[in-house]
Homo-oligomer: A and B are copies of this chain.
Amino acid sequence: MGRNDDIVPPADYPLRATIRDVAARAGVSIGTASKALNASGRLRQETRDRVVAAANELGFRPNAMAQSLHRSRSMTVGVLTTDSFGRFIFPILEALEETLAGHGIAIFMCNATDDPEREQQHLDQLLGKRIDGLLVTARRMDRRPAIAVPGKSMPVIYVFSQSDDPDALCLLPDDHGGAVLAVEHLIATGRRRIAHITGPAEFEAVTLRHQGYAEALVRAGLPALPEYYLNGLWSEAWGREAVAQLFANAATAPDALFCGNDQIARGASDALRERGLSVPDDVAVVGFDNWDVMALAARPPLSSVDMNLHRLGRAAGERLIAMIGGERIRGVERLPCSLVVRPSSAPAGQTTPKQDKNS
């Protein structure tokens, strides 16, 4: 199948010991050696020991391909990303890998950044390798078309990404809930005029977080003013610009900013400082993502909503194991976010006791 031709045949590899070598050295048959090594069958203890000793001496390691061929279970899953390996994918991947490794399952990594043809190639390759399951991640803006796995047989999970296949299992962070968390926190610390600066409206997450934001406000008896909701880019520059817009008129300026990500939050925080406004005394700021590089480097460090990507990755691993085991799981599962509170959203007027300023 394709491009294997350009690799010349094995050079001079010392062949690995096989179970037949072990058997020969221990003076038993292959079957007996297998039983001894797998602690199965009925064998004398002395025989077992002899086989195990021979295996150790030869550095024997069973050939997983032969085992898999026999069991028709490859102990292998594929991870197919269509968003290159972005910053969000890492923690997920890390937890996933750890979870699966604990069950002896290895991961094939594939990347097909927005190239359907490469995606198909990768999928072909993975199917050829008889993966036991597939995990798909993608850019979060759009629902991605379902992966075409023949036969409906193989478990597929979309993580941090949503498919339009109703039979699929999708694992996502609870964007709505995360926004509620942030806004309720701001309200609890005494803020009343809370604006939301966020990313492009095309992202489903933007919509969900906006809804959470609005609901939390309304539930607290506060108005969700349209002029307090600003869409833009996911950048610091946009955060700065949004602050310029919001604070152009001092009379209508907010006393808290809930930002769609930490970059926006950081840009906003910088802009506030440069306007002579104190964070958090004059304006509280809460970000989203809890990306330490941003959140900790900001002055002051940013409160932020954490999507618990690690937990998401672990959950994905566990679901996948369950599905490989035969369970059928489907639907959209949203895992809770949590709020990490840092100085940028301390209660108004708490940080610097002596304080009386206004913009």
Residues of A within 8 A of B (CB): 1-4, 6-8, 10-16, 59, 61-66, 68-69, 72-76, 79, 84-85, 87, 90, 93-94, 97-98, 101-104, 106-111, 118, 121-122, 124-130, 150-153, 235-237, 263, 267, 293, 297, 321, 324-326
Contact B109 A4 (CB under 8 A): no
Report whether A236 and B297 are in contact in the complex, using a CB–CB cutoff of 8 Å: yes
Given contacts A4-B75, A122-B101, A263-B293, contact A65 B65 (CB under 8 A): yes
Q: Which residues of the other chain, B, contact A118 by a CB distance below 8 angstroms?
A: 101
Question: Do B61 and A65 touch across chains, with their CB atoms under 8 A apart?
Answer: no
Chain B, residue nearest A237 (CB): B297
Q: Chain A: interface secondary structure?
A: mixed
Q: Are A104 and B65 in contact (CB under 8 A)?
A: no
Q: Roughly how many angstroms separate A122 CA and B3 CA in the complex, as a whole number?
A: 28
B68→A65 contact, CB < 8 A: yes
Once the chains bind, are B63 and A128 in contact (CB under 8 Å)?
yes
Bound-state Cα–Cα, A104 to B2, Å: 8
Interface pair A3/B90, CB less than 8 Å apart: no
- Hey, which chain B residues are within 8 Å of A236, CB to CB? 297
A63-B128, A85-B94 given; name 15 further pairs at CB < 8 Å.
A1-B62, A7-B103, A7-B324, A14-B153, A16-B130, A61-B124, A62-B128, A63-B130, A64-B130, A85-B85, A87-B87, A106-B125, A108-B108, A109-B109, A236-B297
Q: Which residue from chain B places its CB closest to the CB of A85 in the assembled complex?
A: B90
B121 touches A101 (CB 8 A): yes
Q: Is the CB of A69 within 8 A of B63?
A: yes
Complex Cα spacing A7 to B321, Å: 8
Contact, CB under 8 Å: A74 / B85: no
Q: Which residue of B lies closest to A321 (CB)?
A: B7
A110 touches B97 (CB 8 A): yes
Would A129 and B64 be within 8 Å (CB), given that A10-B73, A103-B7, A151-B14 are in contact? Answer: yes
Inter-chain contacts of A79 with B (CB < 8 A): 109
A323 nearest CB across to chain B (Å): 9
Rank and list the top 4 A-B pairs by shortest CB-CB distance, nearest first. A11-B326, A64-B128, A236-B297, A109-B109
* Most chain B CB neighbours (cut-off 10 Å) among A1, A102, A109, A293: A109
- A2 CB contacts on chain B under 8 angstroms: 104
With a cutoff of 8 Å between Cβ atoms, the chain B residues found around residue A122 in the complex are 101
Q: Which residues of B contact A65 (CB under 8 A)?
A: 65, 68-69, 74, 129-130
Q: Which residues of B contact A63 (CB under 8 A)?
A: 69, 128, 130
A111 — nearest CB in chain B belongs to which residue? B97
Contact between B103 and A3, CB atoms less than 8 A apart = yes
Instruction: Give chain B residues whose Cβ lies under 8 Å from the Cβ of A73.
Output: 7, 10
Q: Which residues of chain B have C-beta atoms less than 8 A from A85's C-beta?
A: 85, 90, 93-94
A106-B129 contact in complex given A7-B325, A293-B263, A297-B236, C-beta closer than 8 Å: yes
